[in-house]
């Protein structure tokens, strides 16, 4: 007698006979197990098309569920989040734009590093988030707060923009403000929002100021003129706000003459390169261990 056995949440349908005789040999039980034909067109593919039609979202359609990304994703232990699960849900007809998991990916790139199909969450997630925002979908309240604070105050922490350079008072060394220097400098240091306001970031900013002095670097900062670089805002899907920040920064950078722009973290490198392209300056990234970010300068 043939019987069917469902297999996990997602069949394939498993077909077994109690006995099957093949070329005179009796194959009992699971030795004659077969998988039923899977009809992929039974799925609602509109939710997959919704993402793969977005510029940057194409590679979501390439996932073949190998699961290599699971072990490297730092968010995989949160709720039922997981890069492979996201792909599977979308393939099964669940809209990513309505899924709370849309906002959990940190765009750390770990999954892309190991993915044999080059499924690129660093492109997919910002594209899907931008589409969700444009369609007026619900976004996490804390993220909404960050967008509003960045738009209003020029930093995601919602701090007073006039206090952006307060950290230099206790730096232990003079930290020149480029508008007050009134001459070209070799290095314009883009400090960034967290090193300007957050206690741990301020420690790192003061440490770098002392290093610049020890190395006799001719540097200055933008001070209260500086605005958030907007890279995290772009990755979170608020592309319009990110572009507005870039335009503002282009204007500010364009006011001064400098040979090199030094930024404090890799996340600032791309927007700063864009903002300083017209000035001809080179962008260098300098991060310290105390800021818990990767380190490179060059």
Residues that bind ligand SF4 in the complex, under the rule CB under 6 A:
63-69, 72-75, 83-84, 87, 105-111, 114-117, 119, 121
In terms of Cα–Cα distance, which of 229, 81, 205, 89 is closest to 155?
A: 229
Q: What is the closest distance, in whole angstroms, from the C-beta atom of residue 293 to ligand SF4 in the complex?
A: 16
Nearest CB to ligand SF4, comparing residues 121 and 127: 121
Q: What is the closest distance, in whole angstroms, from the C-beta atom of residue 233 to ligand SF4 in the complex?
A: 17
Q: What is the closest distance, in whole angstroms, from the C-beta atom of residue 82 to ligand SF4 in the complex?
A: 8
In terms of Cα–Cα distance, which of 219, 284, 296, 223 is closest to 258?
A: 219
Q: Which tokens belong to 38?
A: 């899977």
Nearest CB to ligand SF4, comparing residues 74 and 93: 74
Nearest CB to ligand SF4, comparing residues 61 and 240: 61
Q: What is the closest distance, in whole angstroms, from the C-beta atom of residue 65 to ligand SF4 in the complex?
A: 5
Nearest CB to ligand SF4, comparing residues 84 and 227: 84
Q: Which tokens belong to 9?
A: 């949440």
Nearest CB to ligand SF4, comparing residues 75 and 177: 75
**Where does the chain have alpha helices with state H?**
46-52, 83-91, 110-114, 121-134, 141-153, 178-181, 193-197, 199-214, 231-235, 239-254, 266-276
Integer Cα distance of 192 and 169 in angstroms: 17
98, 99, 105, 109: CA torsion to nearest 10: -80
Nearest CB to ligand SF4, comparing residues 146 and 168: 146
Q: What is the closest distance, in whole angstroms, from the C-beta atom of residue 79 to ligand SF4 in the complex?
A: 13
Q: What is the closest distance, in whole angstroms, from the C-beta atom of residue 33 to ligand SF4 in the complex?
A: 25
For β-strands 258-263 and 282-285, DSSP reports them as parallel
- In the block, tokens 């001459």 appear at 183
């Amino acid at each position: 007698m043939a019987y069917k056995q469902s297999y996990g949440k997602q069949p394939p349908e498993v077909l077994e006979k109690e006995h099957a005789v093949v070329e005179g040999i009796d194959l009992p039980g699971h030795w004659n197990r077969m998988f039923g034909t899977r009809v992929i067109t039974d799925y609602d593919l509109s939710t997959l098309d919704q993402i793969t039609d977005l510029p940057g979202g194409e590679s979501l359609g390439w996932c073949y569920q190998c699961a290599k990304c699971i072990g490297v994703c730092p968010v995989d232990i949160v709720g039922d989040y997981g890069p492979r699960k996201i792909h599977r849900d979308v393939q099964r007809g669940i809209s990513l734009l309505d899924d709370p998991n849309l906002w959990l990916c940190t765009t750390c790139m770990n999954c892309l590093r190991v993915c044999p199909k080059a499924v690129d969450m660093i492109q997919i997630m910002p594209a899907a988030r931008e589409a969700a925002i444009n369609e007026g979908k619900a976004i996490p309240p804390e993220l909404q707060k960050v967008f509003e604070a960045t738009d209003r105050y020029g930093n995601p922490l919602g701090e007073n923009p006039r206090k952006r350079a307060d950290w230099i008072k206790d730096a232990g060394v003079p930290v020149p403000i480029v508008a007050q220097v009134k001459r070209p400098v070799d290095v314009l240091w883009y400090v960034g929002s967290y090193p300007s306001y957050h206690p741990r970031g301020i420690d790192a900013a003061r440490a770098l100021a002392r290093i610049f002095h020890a190395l006799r670097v001719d540097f200055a900062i933008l001070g209260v003129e500086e605005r958030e670089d907007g890279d995290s805002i772009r990755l979170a899907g608020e592309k319009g706000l990110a572009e507005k920040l870039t335009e503002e920064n282009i204007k500010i950078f364009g006011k001064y003459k400098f040979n090199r722009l030094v930024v404090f973290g890799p996340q600032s490198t791309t927007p700063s390169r864009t903002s300083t392209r017209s000035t001809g300056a080179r962008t260098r990234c300098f991060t310290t261990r105390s800021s818990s970010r990767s380190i490179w300068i060059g």
